Structure 1
Amino acid sequence: MTNEILKSEITCPNCGHRKIESMPTDACVYYYECEYCKQLLKPKQGDCCVFCSYGTVKCPPVQLGNSCC
């Protein structure tokens, strides 16, 4: 049994817009477009995905102590 959290609130660093999104368990999300300002978010250096960079919760693989993708 796993205890991954599968939802994370992404905050756009450009405009501050926040949205709760579902995270896939079998893929990384490298690009995310802010629905408010249309800024294309990419992971920060050293992070594997946008959830690890801009979310309130890290992606499921990282939560379990694995590398993402």
Structure 2
Amino acid sequence: MSRVELESVITCPECGATAQETMPTNACQWFYECKACHALLKPLPGDCCVFCSYGSVKCPPIQQGSSCCGGGA
């Protein structure tokens, strides 16, 4: 199995700002506050976390082919 990537760049859909973040491996991240405009990001319908919706890399459980915290997908 390939190595799990833990770094993801989140792009805010409100202002377009980007930020590199380290994804948690033991919990879903359902909310993220944009550092530029302070918009509160939530997962899009069908996605399990903000990294799956707005990140450059999907969350670790999805990368490994499982569901993230039993939610979505």
**Would you say same fold, with TM above 0.5?**
yes
Where do 4+ consecutive residues of structure 1 move more than 6 Å?
none
TM (norm. structure 1) is 0.97
Structure 2, unpaired ranges of 5+:
none
State TM-score, norm by structure 2: 0.92
Sequence identity (%): 62
Amino acid at match of 1:15: C
Root mean square deviation of aligned Cα: 1.1
Task: Please list the CA deviations of residues 10-63 of structure 1 after superposition, one character each: whole Å capped at 9, or x if unmatched.
Answer: 000000000000001110000000010000000000000000000000000000
Distance in 2, matches of 1:4 and 1:32, equals 21
Is there any run of 5+ residues in structure 1 with no aligned partner, and where?
none
| CA–CA distance in structure 1, aligned partners of residues 2 and 55 of structure 2 | 20
- Residues matched between the structures, number: 69
